[in-house]
Structure formats: C-alpha cells, structure tokens
C-alpha cells in the first residue's frame, strides 16, 4: 500500500475522520476509536460473563441440583472468571487508558498507533477461540463444552478437560500477546509523548497508576504464557513439569501461576485507584490529599505484589518459613493500601462535596473496596486461612475488591468522562438509580457469602448442605437484582451517545475538575493535540506539588 501519494495525503489529512467502516474501525489508528472499541467489547463481555453468573446463582438459589448438570456448572464458574477478568475488567481499563492518557498528558495519540490497533483486534478473536468449545456445546450440542477446571487452571484437573484445553491455552496466549503490546504502548506513550511541562510528578494519578500497571503487565503476562505452555506440553508432548512421577510437581504450577496471578489482581485494581483519585478531588472541590504519597503507595503496592503470591497456597503444603514470609509480606500491602484510603478520605474532609453519579460510584468504591481489603487481611492470616481457603469467604473477598472495587471504578470513570466523549450529559436521574440499585443488590449478593464461607460452604460446587439454604437464596436474589440493574447502565450509555436532545456538555464538564482533558472541547476533537500544547500550571491538578 502506502505508495507515496496516498501516504502523503493521509499524513496531512489526519484531522478528518477516515471514511467508511473498514477504514475507521478495522484500519484504526486513532486512540479514541480504539478506546471505544475496547470499551464496547468490555461491555459485551460484561454481559456474557454476567449471563454465566446468572446461571451460577440460578443453580445455587436452592440446595440440590435443579438447573444444570454439575459439569456444566463447573464450566460456568471457570468461564465466568476468565471472561470477566480478561474480557471485561482488563479491556475496560485499557479502553479508558486509550481514551484518556493521551488527552491527559497532551499527546496527539498513543505512541504506537498501529500496534494499538493490533492489540485491540486480537481480543475479539481470542475470545472466539476461548468461547468456541462452550458455544459449540450450548448452541449445537457438539463436543463436551468449555474448560471446567477453574480459571486458575490447576493441573492435573485442568488437563483432564478434553478438547477445550488446547483452545483455552491458545486463547490465553492471544490475550497475553494483546496485553503485552497494549502495555508497551502505554509505557511508551507516557514516557515519550508527554507535552513539555508535564513533568512526571505533575501527571494525573490515573496516568501514574497506568504506568505502573503497564509495567506489571509486561512483567507477568509472559510468566502466565510460560505456565500455560508447560500445561500444553504436559498434556500433548509428554513433559512432566507438573507430574510427580517424572520429578515435577503440580504445586509448581501454582507457584508460577500465582507469580502471575497476584500481580494480576493489582493490574485490575491500580487503574481503579487512579480513577478514584481523579474523581474524588473533582467533587470534593479540593486538590488530592498527599499526591506524592499516592504515587509512592501505588509503586510500593506494585513492588510488594511480586512477593506475596503464595498466600493463595497456604493450605497446599509449603514449608513453615514460606507460610510466615508470605503472611507478613501480604499484610505489609495493607500499609500502602491504607495510605490510599486515608488520603481519599482526607481529600473529602471539609470539601464542598456534591454527589453526582461518578462521585457516588467513587464513594461506593472507597467503602466497599475497603471491606474487601479487610477480608483480604483476614485471609492473609495463615491459621485463619486454613479455615477460609476455598470457601465462599474467598469468593466474597474477591468480589468485593473486583466488583465493588474494579467494576464500580469503571462505572465511575464512564459517568465521569462520558460527557467528554459524547459531548452530551447522560441522564443523571437514571445514573443515580443505577448506583443505588447496584449498591443495594451487590451487597445483598456478596455480603451473605462471608457468612456462608465462615460456616464452611465450599466454593465451586453446584449443590450444598441445606444449612446454607437461606443465605444462598438471599445471595441469588441480590445477584439477579444486580444483573438486571446493569441493563440501566447499558441504556444510559446508549442514550448518551445517541440521543441528540440531551443537554450539551461544557468543556469543563464538572466545575471542580482540573487537568488537560478538560481544556479540550466536548466532544473531544478527533486528534487531541496536533502540536504539543503550552501547559500552564493552573490547568493541572497537581502542578504545585513538584515545586
């Protein structure tokens, strides 16, 4: 292609949107278009994964087996987690990074726009590969369905999964390639594309959070790739990495997996910290309390996340010294995490607060993420974890940090920046309904799971002792309510993008908002900045800290 004339024309015409579907979306290089594609895909996957959750809660509504076969139930728990983690939460944050990072640092686009497009387009294909065995089974009755050994893919169980194993492993490889390229792009953008005057310590916290998250991604996604490659060769090529008969060890997989897995959970929460650190100052109309401490806290959480992995394996039989080391290291994470929570609270202290939908979700985040952090601390205590491990208490823990944490922050970010993206205000009344319904139902859904877990209900089972019946019914009702409430969200977004009669958004959508993105018109122009913008400190939220 690129014979000189056409290349030149494109080179000069990049303020115009490319014409036609193929040029705009398939050959995309624009960070906003690619960000939109990521976000749309994440929303679709959120509902696909949500549907699986509904099947899980449907089966668990009453003791006994009524809705699905146990084998299918296990496929649902496995696929629900894989779809939500790799298909919904991670792509949603990458989509937010794509949209916002260039605007926040005064860049025209991502550093490597074509690779950006490749990172995105791998994802729909990766999920085709992942979902194929399950879809064939559900829609056509072909084969045995998807993987059922849990998202953690522990051998030997995961290797007994029949035809779906190879599909799952190759899908994970594709997601890994996509994540690594996406992360490289974000790092290059932040380190290389900042406008003059945007010093590192003047960057928005969201940008900082993503810089560190991207580093985590590049460091651990290849390790996951290595782990699943060993699974593949163990199953198909006769290696014995995870088989004691040949001198290997199934527990070795758990070590490699969680060396990836624990940083992975921080990959899903650090950008959320960034989002909340943007929103709270805006609606408290005060600068963020302790900006530098916030940045250093993120960095130390990232560092610690590499040395705590075995807290997922306390009961598997590791030497006592190991148990102690990983217990104390894990508890250490509570310190920087606590710093963040306190700083959000101090930011609000004596602020002139208003409670628009983004702020509601951010506040919900602070309170409910902290609940998840506390249950995490309980789990970090080795002797206690011997009781809690593999019970619903763990399920409650990670859903507080991931749903009311990561997912709530994604909702908050969407409401916060949607007017900037579409140029129109979303329906605030419906937004508040969405928040309150979600919050009530999500607590109905997950809080009782703490009780169930402490009482001894194991996770990943389709049937249970009648003693657990009441709280499971409550939890299921909460689950259906939460699931249905998300339809409101989909409607609000659709409405805000399509409905011409909605009020036009101001450039500075929220009166208390600071940062370069608010100096651009709403909707933001196709290419944010053509030349490096002249940055004055008063435009920035954190300009004074660096001096």
Catalytic machinery residues: 80, 109, 151, 178-179, 262, 264, 266, 277, 311-312, 337, 340, 459
Applying the rule CB under 8 A, the residues between 305 and 324 that interact with other proteins are 317-319
401 binds, among Cu ion, other proteins, ligand HEM, none (CB under 5 to 8 A by kind): ligand HEM
Q: Rounded to whole angstroms, how far apart are CA atoms 425 and 440?
A: 25
The DSSP symbol for 95 reads H
* Cβ atoms 196, 531 nearer than 8 A: no
User: Closest CB to other proteins among 313 and 474?
Assistant: 313
Distance, first Cα to last Cα, the chain: 50
- CB closest to Cu ion, residue no: 262
Q: Rounded to whole angstroms, how far apart are CA atoms 544 and 547?
A: 6
Helix (H) or strand (E) holding 292: helix 291-304
* Cβ atoms 75, 82 nearer than 8 A: no
Site string for Cu ion, 232-271 (x = CB under 5 A): ------------------------------x---------
Q: Residues 6 or more apart from 272 whose CB is under 8 A from it? A: 93, 365, 369, 405, 406, 408, 409, 410
193 binds, among ligand HEM, Cu ion, other proteins, none (CB under 5 to 8 A by kind): other proteins
Q: Rounded to whole angstroms, how far apart are CA atoms 228 and 170?
A: 9
Applying the rule CB under 6 A, the residues between 248 and 307 that interact with ligand HEM are 265, 268-269
Q: Determine the interface stretch with other proteins among 116-124, 265-273, 397-405, 423-431 (rule: CB under 8 A).
A: 116-124
User: Closest CB to ligand HEM among 389 and 514?
Assistant: 389
- By CB under 8 A, tell whether 220 contacts other proteins: yes
With H, G, I as helix, E, B as strand and everything else as coil, classify residue 469. helix
Closest CA to 258 of 296, 229, 289, 220: 220
Q: Which two tokens stand for residue 374?
A: 């506390």
245 binds, among Cu ion, ligand HEM, other proteins, none (CB under 5 to 8 A by kind): other proteins
Q: Which residues pair with 424 in a beta bridge?
A: 504
User: Closest CB to other proteins among 197 and 456?
Assistant: 197
Which residue shows structure tokens 């779809």?
83
User: Closest CB to other proteins among 12 and 538?
Assistant: 12
Closest CA to 160 of 78, 57, 64, 258: 78
Closest CA to 246 of 151, 156, 150: 156
Helices (H), 285-407: 291-304, 320-348, 357-380, 382-388, 392-401
Residue selected from 330, 414, 427, 522 as contacting ligand HEM according to rule CB under 6 A: 330
210 binds, among ligand HEM, Cu ion, other proteins, none (CB under 5 to 8 A by kind): none
User: Closest CB to other proteins among 1 and 139?
Assistant: 1
Applying the rule CB under 8 A, the residues between 161 and 190 that interact with other proteins are 163, 166-167, 169-171, 173-174, 177, 180, 183-185, 187-189
We find the least distance from the C-beta atom of residue 76 to Cu ion, in angstroms, to be 23
The site for ligand HEM (CB under 6 A) is made up of 152, 265, 268-269, 311-312, 330, 333-334, 337, 373, 376-377, 379-380, 385, 388-389, 394, 397-398, 401-402, 405-406
């Amino acid at each position: 292609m690129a014979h000189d004339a056409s290349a030149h024309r494109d080179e000069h015409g990049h303020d115009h949107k490319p014409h036609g579907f193929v040029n705009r979306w398939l050959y995309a290089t624009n960070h906003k278009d690619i960000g939109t594609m990521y976000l749309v895909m994440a929303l679709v996957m959120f509902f696909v994964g949500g549907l699986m959750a509904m099947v899980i809660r449907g089966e668990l509504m009453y003791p006994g087996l009524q809705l699905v076969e146990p084998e299918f139930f296990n496929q649902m728990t496995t696929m629900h987690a894989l779809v939500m983690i790799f298909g919904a939460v991670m792509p949603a944050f990458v989509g937010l990074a794509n949209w916002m990072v260039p605007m926040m640092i005064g860049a025209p686009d991502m550093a490597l726009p074509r690779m950006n497009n490749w990172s995105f387009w791998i994802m729909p294909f990766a999920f085709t590969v992942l979902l194929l065995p399950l879809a064939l089974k559900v829609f056509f009755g072909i084969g045995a369905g998807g993987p059922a050994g849990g998202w953690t893919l522990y051998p030997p169980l995961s290797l007994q999964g029949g035809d779906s194993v190879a599909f799952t492993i190759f899908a994970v490889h594709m997601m890994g390639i996509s994540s690594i390229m996406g992360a490289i792009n974000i790092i290059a953008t932040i380190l290389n594309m900042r406008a003059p005057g945007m010093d590192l310590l003047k960057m928005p916290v969201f940008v900082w959070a993503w810089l560190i998250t991207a580093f985590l991604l590049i460091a651990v996604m290849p390790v996951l790739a290595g782990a699943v490659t060993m699974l593949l060769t163990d199953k198909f090529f006769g290696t014995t990495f995870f088989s004691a008969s040949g001198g290997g060890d199934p527990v070795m997989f758990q070590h490699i997996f969680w060396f990836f897995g624990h940083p992975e959970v921080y990959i899903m929460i650090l950008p959320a910290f960034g989002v909340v650190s943007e929103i709270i100052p805006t609606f408290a109309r005060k600068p963020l309390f302790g900006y530098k401490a916030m940045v250093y806290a993120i960095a130390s959480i990232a560092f610690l996340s590499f040395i705590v992995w075995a807290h997922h394996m306390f009961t598997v039989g590791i030497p006592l010294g190991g148990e102690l080391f990983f217990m104390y290291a894990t508890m250490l994470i509570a310190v920087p995490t606590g710093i963040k929570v306190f700083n959000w609270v101090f930011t609000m202290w004596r602020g002139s607060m208003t409670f628009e939908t983004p702020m509601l979700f951010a506040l919900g985040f602070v309170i409910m993420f902290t609940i998840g952090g506390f249950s995490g601390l309980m789990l970090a205590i080795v002797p206690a974890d011997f009781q809690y491990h593999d019970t619903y208490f763990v399920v409650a823990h990670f859903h507080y940090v991931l749903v009311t944490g990561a997912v709530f922050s994604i909702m908050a970010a969407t409401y916060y920046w949607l007017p900037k993206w579409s140029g129109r205000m979303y329906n605030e009344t419906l937004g508040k309904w969405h928040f309150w319904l979600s919050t009530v139902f999500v607590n109905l859904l997950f809080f009782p799971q703490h009780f169930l877990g402490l009482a001894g209900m194991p996770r990943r089972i389709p049937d249970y002792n009648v003693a657990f019946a009441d709280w499971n019914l409550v939890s299921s009702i909460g689950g259906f309510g939460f699931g249905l409430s998300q339809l409101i969200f989909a409607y609000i977004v659709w409405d805000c993008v399509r409905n011409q009669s909605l009020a036009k958004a101001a450039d500075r959508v929220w009166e208390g908002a600071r940062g370069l993105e608010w100096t651009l018109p709403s909707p933001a122009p196709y290419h944010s900045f053509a030349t490096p913008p002249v940055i004055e400190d008063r435009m920035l939220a954190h300009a004074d800290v660096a001096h």
